[in-house]
């Protein structure tokens, strides 16, 4: 019999022994001192189980695309205007999926948030509500659609994988509509599972396998471990709340449909009949076909560099996709974003809004709701500063004038951080 503390009811006992605040005190102190996303990454690394942190932090294969995705922003220069007559704070409001938001960036829908912190998706939803921006919920979330709807009354996008079972798809779509979700994002770059070698080395599993090595790592991270042991076992709540995440994993793998094609996409759009994004676009010809198929939004993404190794940096392909679909089709970009300046460059080069994944998940793993809000705070201040110094007072102005403000230069060793950058989480160009 496999040891499982939740099946033994350990969490029912520990939830009445409130030691979380004691174990979390060092984490909260570190979080208060964080000044950028790289700092949040280190806070997350110090709090989370190694297996969990590496799952969040990793890319596919040799992590070349992961590094390139960050390096690509270093090769973009910002040619600023002077004497623009601007003063802070600037107006960062825009529209995403036709809905008004106060920020042009948001947290991407990501699976299994309770793995990082017991608050899980509720922390990200509260941060979205706090900052007045879009919230994205994964179909493999560990918090249900109804609960999320109670936490944020702002715009929401529901992410869906390419499932085989159409009845399952219909059921999930019906729940999303009933839960007040405004848009659908179909993830199309996950037809095979990427080769994430850190996970293999760590023997990653949900929940942990309670091997000797995993238990040793758990002892090293008492805040994460006590959170995990003192709360209910998590489930993939948008699909079946009765099935634990470990049992459902095999079901999910069996449901991914590699053969899903454009005809299946047409059927899906017919079932949804509302704003929709195709998430995972990196080619202009695919973007054109997606528009012809009926998608209203192109989501330029390579799945956080976690799927096809040596896939291009999304910021590099963005201008060609904007040129292909024209000025009126909405484009969202994610991938490689670590700074507000990165968001500024993406908006200037053709994105209407920007999704961030790792930055807010580092905040979540570091400190729950407080950590996610801090991640958004950091990026908001950096974006405001970048736009002001660039000489653009609104998001619309940045998008209109952007192509003339951002220029690409040939990379050099001077573009990249020092030899300690890897420890800080930069992940690329280390010398």
Residues with a known catalytic role: 303
Decide: residue 419, CB within 10 A, 0-12 exposed, 13-18 middle, 19+ buried: exposed
Measured from the Cβ of residue 1, the count of other Cβ atoms closer than 10 Å reads: 4
Vertex 286 angle, CA 283 and 287, to 5°: 85
Task: Give the Cα separation of 90 and 128 in Å (integer).
Answer: 19
């Amino acid at each position: 019999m496999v040891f499982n503390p939740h099946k033994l009811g350990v969490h029912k006992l520990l939830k009445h022994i409130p030691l979380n605040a004691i174990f979390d005190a060092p984490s909260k102190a570190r979080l208060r001192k964080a000044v950028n996303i790289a700092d949040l990454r280190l806070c997350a690394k110090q709090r989370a189980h190694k297996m969990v942190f590496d799952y969040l932090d990793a890319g596919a294969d040799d992590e070349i695309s992961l590094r390139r995705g960050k390096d690509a922003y270093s090769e973009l220069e910002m040619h600023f205007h002077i004497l623009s007559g601007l003063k802070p704070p600037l107006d960062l409001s825009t529209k995403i999926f036709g809905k008004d938001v106060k920020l042009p960036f948001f947290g991407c829908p990501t699976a299994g948030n309770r793995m990082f912190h017991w608050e899980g998706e509720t922390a990200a939803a509260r941060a979205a509500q706090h900052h007045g921006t879009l919230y994205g919920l994964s179909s493999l979330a560990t918090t249900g659609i109804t609960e999320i709807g109670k936490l944020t009354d702002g715009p929401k996008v529901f992410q869906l994988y390419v499932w085989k079972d159409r009845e399952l798809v219909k059921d999930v779509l019906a729940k999303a509509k009933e839960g007040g979700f405004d848009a659908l994002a179909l993830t199309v770059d996950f037809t095979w599972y990427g080769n994430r070698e850190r996970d293999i080395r760590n023997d990653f599993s949900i929940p942990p396998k309670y091997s000797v090595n995993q238990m040793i790592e758990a002892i090293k991270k008492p805040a994460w471990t006590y959170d995990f042991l003192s709360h209910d076992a998590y489930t993939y709540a948008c699909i079946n709340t009765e099935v634990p995440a470990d049992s459902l994993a095999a079901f999910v793998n069996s449901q991914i449909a590699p053969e899903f094609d454009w005809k299946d996409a047409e059927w899906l759009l017919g079932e949804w009949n509302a704003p929709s994004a195709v998430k995972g676009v990196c080619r202009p010809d695919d973007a054109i076909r997606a528009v012809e198929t009926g998608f209203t939004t192109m989501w330029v993404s390579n799945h956080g560099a976690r799927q096809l190794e040596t896939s291009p940096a999304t910021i590099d392909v963005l201008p060609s996709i904007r040129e292909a679909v024209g000025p009126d089709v909405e484009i969202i970009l994610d991938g490689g974003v670590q700074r507000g300046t990165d968001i500024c460059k993406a908006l200037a080069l053709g994105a209407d809004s920007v999704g961030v994944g790792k930055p807010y998940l580092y905040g979540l793993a570091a400190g729950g709701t407080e950590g996610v809000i801090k991640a958004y705070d950091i990026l908001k201040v950096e974006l405001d500063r970048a736009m002001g110094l660039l000489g653009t007072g609104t998001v619309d102005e940045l998008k209109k004038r952007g192509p003339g403000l951002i220029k690409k230069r040939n990379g050099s060793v001077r573009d990249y951080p020092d030899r300690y950058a890897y420890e800080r989480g930069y992940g690329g160009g280390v010398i």
